[in-house]
Amino acid sequence: MQSYLDFEKPVADLEAKIAELKSMAQSDQAVSIDEEVNRLSARADEALVEIYRKLTPWQKTQVARHPQRPHFSDYVRALITEWTPLAGDRKFGEDAALQAGFGRFNGTPVAVLGQEKGNSTETRLKHNFGMANPEGYRKAVRIMDMADRFSVPVISFVDTSGAYPGIGAEERGQAEAIARSTEKSLELGVPNIAIIIGEGGSGGAIAIATANRVLMLENAIYSVISPEAGASILFRDAAKAQDMATAQKITAQDLLGFGVIDAIIPEPAGGAHRHHGTIMDSTRAALSAFLKDFAGKSRLEAREHRREKFLAIGTSL
């Protein structure tokens, strides 16, 4: 069942009428609805294109958080074969919010990391809504160490509102774990790529997004703090999140202009949550291009490319 965002009401109304007509046709075979359904479908498609052509930063934030948007597990199922997940940080325990393991992409061995938000009440609680604890980031470091040792490229799928801010997480060294993961990402001798598929929130995202190539889906967001939290701090009013989203410059288009990311993966009108197959094809093409571009680079070249990329951010503003 399709879930609609507030600004998609015109499309929701049209598609509700289509569903009603189809229900009528099922109960009365003599009723011909094809012409009217085709007309309403065309109008719904046009409305969707028009809405998604001029999304505001706040509306993109809502799209990035859409519950039906493809998550880490969807990308792994569609793109990675021989997937072998690995658990635990060998220091404290397992963290289900940050998934990691090894598999093959188009036959090439790869290490894969990413936050998993879950898609039901049960799985969201299991994965802590994609907010990782320190053990999650220490697991990421463990997997990146293994990838570096065996010369395996690293792929990260970023989708988190931020690292978990709980008391236990702070007691176990959340900030240190994020810093270690960021440091490991920077010092890898193998190429790594990060794709922000939904939310890229604060240090929780940067811990696995410090890569040779950073991509964003067209309607994803990437920021140092959520619009709601930023509005609470700066405006003393979380209700001003829409204004904060605009001021933060959190969209893929803004960040490409600033040189923070390297490219945008386009989404069809209606967003990734309506077009899983198309998004997987586009992501596959982007990953293939990355692996081809970095196939001949030495360990030193991969490390220096990453270093120069991040040192250059902000120098030409």
Whether this prediction's pTM lies above 0.85 is answered by yes
Given this model, what pLDDT does residue 14 score? 85
Q: Is 128 left (phi over 0), alpha (psi -120 to 50) or beta?
A: left
Q: How does DSSP classify residue 251?
A: B
Report pLDDT for 138: 97
The pLDDT assigned to 156 comes to 97
CATH superfamily to which 61-312 belongs: 2-enoyl-CoA Hydratase; Chain A, domain 1 (3.90.226.10)
pLDDT value of residue 32: 65
What residues contact 72, with CB distance under 8 A and at least 6 apart? 99, 114, 115, 116, 117, 157, 159, 197
Q: Give the per-residue pLDDT at 80.
A: 97
Q: Residues near 217 by Cβ (< 8 Å), separated by ≥ 6? A: 195, 196, 197, 198, 252, 264, 265, 267, 272, 279
DSSP H or E segment with residue 53: helix 34-53
Q: Please answer whether residues 178 and 204 qualify as being in contact, where contact means their C-beta atoms are separated by less than 8 angstroms.
A: yes
User: Model confidence over 28-81: pLDDT tens digits?
Assistant: 665 567 777 788 888 888 988 999 999 999 999 999 999 999 999 999 999 999
User: How confident is the model at residue 13, as a pLDDT?
Assistant: 87
Alpha-carbon span 249 to 226, nearest angstrom:
12
Tens digit of each residue's pLDDT (9 = 90 or more) over 259-283: 999 999 999 999 999 999 999 999 9
Sites in the chain below the pLDDT cut of 70: 25-32, 317
